[in-house]
Amino acid sequence: MRIHSLPIQLVNQIAAGEVVERPSSVVKELVENCFDAGAQQIIIDIEQGGARLIKIRDDGCGIDKEDLPLALSRHATSKIASLQDLEQVASMGFRGEALPSISSVARLTLISRTADAECAWSVCADGTERNFDPQPDPHPLGTTVDVQDLFYNTPARRKFLKAEKTEFAHIETLIKRMALSRFDISFVLTHNQKEILNLRQARELSAQEQRVADICGPEFIKNSVSIDYSASGLQLSGWVGLPTFSRSQQDMQFFYVNGRLVKDKLVSHAVKQAYQDVLYHGRHPVFVLYLTLDPTLVDVNAHPAKTEVRFREGRLVHDFLFSALHRSLANVRPGQSNNVLETEALEYEPTTHTSFDTGGNLNKQSSYTSRPPQQRILPYSVGESIRAYAKLYQETPTYSGEHLTSDPVPVTPPLGYAIAHLHNIYILAETANGIILVDTHAAHERVTYERLKHQHAEGAIPSQPLLLPIKLSVTAAEADLAELEQEFFTLLGFELNRSGPTTLTLRASPALLRNVDKEQLVRDVLADLSVNGISQRIEEHTNAILAAMACHGSVRAHRRLSIDEMNTLLRDMEQTERIGQCNHGRPTWIALSTQDLDKFFLRGQ
């Protein structure tokens, strides 16, 4: 057959195949247009799951009468004008394909009015981009797009639509996700003339938290930490769930880049690493996070539906996200939950205790012994611990006779003071507002693990020469990558050199990883570097060994502790990062307030 041009309507139907998968795809494109129009209110009316009707009305800036035919033509847009604009897209849409693509597979009517127009104007479209005849309409300021009978002219596509309830569920989920991205806009969603959502503008923090609670559930806000962190021209804000508030599915993870909801492998990897030793296996974290950065540093044109992005400085973004999330989780301690994490708070303050071994400090040499430390009694002096804790509080001057004195204000620590060791497993402590139960082994395990990690990180990772060098046959690309990242491997304790076009030679490895399959580890690290631009495998292996040492070196269940020993552990917990979970992700302590106890015993009712 000879080469020929395709009809415009068929071209638009092909384009629709990329962006219009189902009714929710239409809603996404149209609501994003409302965002770009500066809307303050968006009303979405749906009938029969969107197959019968999708009607979206906004109060934005509107479209001029002369521009209505262009708005329904391919590659016509007001949002970019040059390649430079394309490299720093700040709007949600920019290709100019949505309206003509939708009109080619549905009956579309566009009504719009600008602020200086005497009336609104209405046009109908069928995807042919011809025979536009604007008609006057009494529509108020803003735009309405009426989409009826989706896929009426492409029956094969219509057959793939699911049940009405299923299709509307996709739309409702989408609107909730979009509502989380724009607190300055109110959203109303109806289905078959029944109001489903009515979300008002939320400009204040309390109103924003209420919207998040309405969408994600009230327990999300109660069990999350607020983040507001900036560094290197990047800003991360939002909420991350505590490790104990996790889910079996990844259904409550919302990540926005410059206001655009995206799914990105680099982001997922950073989040996974931040939660790696505090989340119970098989569970997934929850979060609502907003990353803001220079539009020139992110490519939003990487996917037809704009659900994926590409960062120009991927490693910088990964490290920034990991650092912010890692520190936010680390800084959640008893009495300090739900704090906003700010840049100034990201300073690590090691505890002043010596070690968990009565034999003295846990020096670097003993950190790398293959024999796990034996269980010892908790050696810390409770008096020393309480004095160290008291330094966290201001001393308030009081008047005594003729002189002012500076006696410390009596303050009950967040985890209170120990009362009993229940069944030789759980510490029962009384606090100012209730009681605390602590899993002794789990808590001591986390305290020990964090100290081991800190002591390990204080110095360079010791390297151990191999008795016989290991030669690895790799691809030329992997050999190039190893050569490029040689400094990275050296800092981690590896001596890895290129000895041929497709050969690497390993002459030394980290001393702590003597029993690890070194060849497989190097290959895995190279694979991570190739895919993600970063690898945490060596750190993961190291932490796994330190975690095992902490587990073996922590106080065991069924060993009776004295009151002093229990109080010492409580004070250590208050100063330990990630103390809410043990190394395996299990909770270490729970609290019951006096109100909880009164409710349980029906007091005051």
pLDDT tens digits for 396-412? 343 344 444 445 555 78
Which option is the CATH number for 217-345: 3.40.50.11890, 3.40.30.10, 3.30.70.1340, 3.30.230.10?
3.30.230.10
| Ranges of the chain with pLDDT below 50 | 337-406
Which option is the CATH number for 358-605: 1.10.275.10, 3.30.1360.200, 3.40.50.2000, 3.30.1370.100?
3.30.1370.100
Tokens representing 221 are: 């806000």
Q: What is the CATH number of domain 8-197?
A: 3.30.565.10
Q: Which residue has the tokens 């611990």?
A: 385
What is the residue-wise DSSP string for 509-548? EEGGGTTS-HHHHHHHHHHHHHHHS---HHHHHHHHHHHH
Convert 89-137 into a string of H (helix), E (strand) and C (coil).
CCCCCCCCCHHHHHHCCCEEEEEEECCCCCCEEEEEECCCCCCCCCEEE
* Domain residue ranges in the chain: 8-197, 217-345, 358-605
| Residues 249, 285 contacting (CB under 8 angstroms) | no
Sign of torsion, CA 277 282 283 289?
A: positive
Closest CA to 196 of 24, 45, 32: 45
- Provide CB contacts within 8 A for 329, sequence distance 6+: 225, 240, 242, 243, 274, 275, 278, 578
The whole-number pLDDT of residue 365 equals: 31
Q: b/e map of 326-364 (b: 16 or more CB within 10 Å)?
A: bbbbbbbbbeeeeeebeeeebeeeebebebbbeeeebee
The whole-number pLDDT of residue 399 equals: 36
Tokens representing 302 are: 């990487």
The whole-number pLDDT of residue 403 equals: 45
Q: For 126-279, list the strands marked E by DSSP.
A: 135-137, 142-148, 186-191, 194-199, 224-231, 234-241, 253-257, 260-261
